């Protein structure tokens, strides 16, 4: 029996080693993945759109990228598949603020004006000031129509009164925010209502007094082979589409473009 057990342990070690190699190889392949050339995406609602993406070279100049992103954004909007709120989940422990700013710029160029940046421990939330300063520089790089928009950076959830839907809104969140919001809302509901009056619509109405609302899309950076929501407010993840993306420090425009196009071509059945 001892020999058999030894055999199993050796096999286990071997399989784990191969798996680790597989992970490392996937990350390497992802790093050197070729840029988008022509792609046909099948869109919902019986319409086929052939979207020829401009070849985006690594380090391409900003004008090309932003035109590409604007085009994609307007196509998605036409098909009603442009998310209003995108949640960026960072699974990496080291956060590169400059890179995050660039990613925000890409989303804004596409027409997404509400973005939440989430990481479990709150590293992003602690860099609020740095992000505010760097975002001011972002405005100059935006396409013409967006330069007049103001940028607001919030920590955690924010009440309706303090939120302006005309500006570009960035929310910095960590795992405390979702639960503490729900507890706060629960306290208010219990204070004001009888237990027999409490139903799902009451709770929904109370939570919707806070922004950001449910994200339509959640992009998980840095988790190539599996997903985790890392404690993002569970209430808000009802119909959220979750997609993976490479590590945010190595993310390129074509990764974001392919993520958005895949989001645009997915079909949700809502339980039916």
Partner 1 sequence: MSWIQESKLKWYETLAVNVLKCGSIPKHVAFIMDGNRRFANKSGVKKIEGHSKGFDKLTEVLHWCLLLGVNEVTVYAFSIENFRRSEEEVDQLMSLAREKFKRLLEEKDKLNEHGISIRVIGNIGLLPADLQKLVVESMESTKSNTEAVLNIAFSYTSREEMTHAVREVAWGVQEDLLKIDDITEDLIQKCLYTRHSLQPDLLIRTSGEKHSPLPKKLTCPGGPEEFVRRETTANKRKHGQDREVSQQNGSERISYKKPDSDTSLDLSDPFIVSNLC
**Footprint of partner 1 on this chain (CB under 8 A)?**
4, 8-9, 11-12, 15-16, 19-20, 23, 91, 93, 120-121, 175, 178-180, 182-183, 186-187, 189-191, 193-195, 198-200, 202-204, 225-231, 234-235, 237-244, 262-263, 266, 268, 270-272
Q: Minimum CB separation from partner 1 for residue 89, in Å?
A: 11
Nearer to partner 1, 66 or 182 (CB): 182
Q: Minimum CB separation from partner 1 for residue 40, in Å?
A: 17
Q: Minimum CB separation from partner 1 for residue 221, in Å?
A: 14
Burial 37-64, CB ≥16 within 10 A → b, else e: eeeeeebeeeeeeebebeebeeeeeeee
Separation CA 174–CA 9 (nearest Å): 39
Q: Minimum CB separation from partner 1 for residue 137, in Å?
A: 32
Phi, psi of 235 (to 5 degrees): -60, -35
Nearer to partner 1, 44 or 137 (CB): 44
Q: 91 and 118 in contact (C-beta within 8 Å)?
A: no
Which residues have a Cβ under 8 Å from the Cβ of 226 and sit 6 or more positions away? Answer: none
Burial 151-171, CB ≥16 within 10 A → b, else e: bbbbebbeeeeebeeeebbbb
Nearer to partner 1, 139 or 230 (CB): 230
Nearer to partner 1, 168 or 217 (CB): 217
Separation CA 188–CA 98 (nearest Å): 39
Nearer to partner 1, 67 or 225 (CB): 225
Separation CA 222–CA 239 (nearest Å): 22
Separation CA 246–CA 101 (nearest Å): 16
Phi, psi of 42 (to 5 degrees): -90, 120
Nearer to partner 1, 133 or 239 (CB): 239
Helix (H, G, I), strand (E, B) or coil at 39: strand
Helix (H, G, I), strand (E, B) or coil at 36: coil
Q: Minimum CB separation from partner 1 for residue 125, in Å?
A: 15
Nearer to partner 1, 65 or 177 (CB): 177
Q: Minimum CB separation from partner 1 for residue 204, in Å?
A: 8
Separation CA 153–CA 155 (nearest Å): 7
Q: Minimum CB separation from partner 1 for residue 187, in Å?
A: 5
Phi, psi of 2 (to 5 degrees): -65, -40
Neighbours of 260 (CB within 10 A): 26
């Amino acid at each position: 029996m001892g020999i058999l057990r030894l055999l199993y342990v050796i096999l286990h070690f071997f399989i784990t080693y191969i798996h680790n190699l597989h992970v490392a190889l996937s990350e390497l392949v992802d790093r050197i993945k070729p840029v988008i050339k022509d792609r046909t995406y099948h869109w919902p609602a019986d319409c086929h759109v052939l979207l020829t993406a401009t070849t985006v070279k690594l380090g391409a100049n900003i004008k090309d990228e932003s035109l590409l992103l604007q085009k994609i954004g307007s196509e998605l909007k036409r098909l009603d598949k442009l998310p209003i709120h995108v949640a960026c989940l960072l699974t990496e422990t080291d956060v590169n603020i400059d890179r995050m700013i660039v990613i925000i710029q890409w989303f804004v160029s596409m027409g997404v004006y509400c973005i939440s940046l989430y990481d479990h421990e709150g590293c992003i939330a602690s860099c609020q000031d740095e992000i505010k300063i760097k975002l001011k520089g972002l405005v100059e790089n935006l396409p013409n129509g967006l330069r007049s928009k103001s940028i607001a950076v919030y920590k955690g959830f924010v009440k309706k009164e303090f939120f302006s839907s005309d500006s570009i809104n960035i929310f910095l969140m960590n795992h405390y925010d979702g639960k503490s919001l729900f507890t706060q809302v629960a306290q208010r509901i219990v204070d004001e209502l009888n237990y027999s009056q409490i139903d799902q619509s009451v709770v929904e109405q109370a939570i919707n007094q806070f922004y950001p609302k449910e994200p339509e899309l959640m992009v998980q950076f840095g988790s190539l082979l599996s997903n985790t929501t890392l404690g993002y407010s569970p209430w808000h993840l009802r119909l959220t589409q979750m997609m993976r993306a490479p590590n945010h420090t190595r993310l390129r425009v074509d990764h974001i473009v392919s993520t958005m196009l895949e989001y645009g071509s997915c079909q949700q059945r809502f339980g039916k």
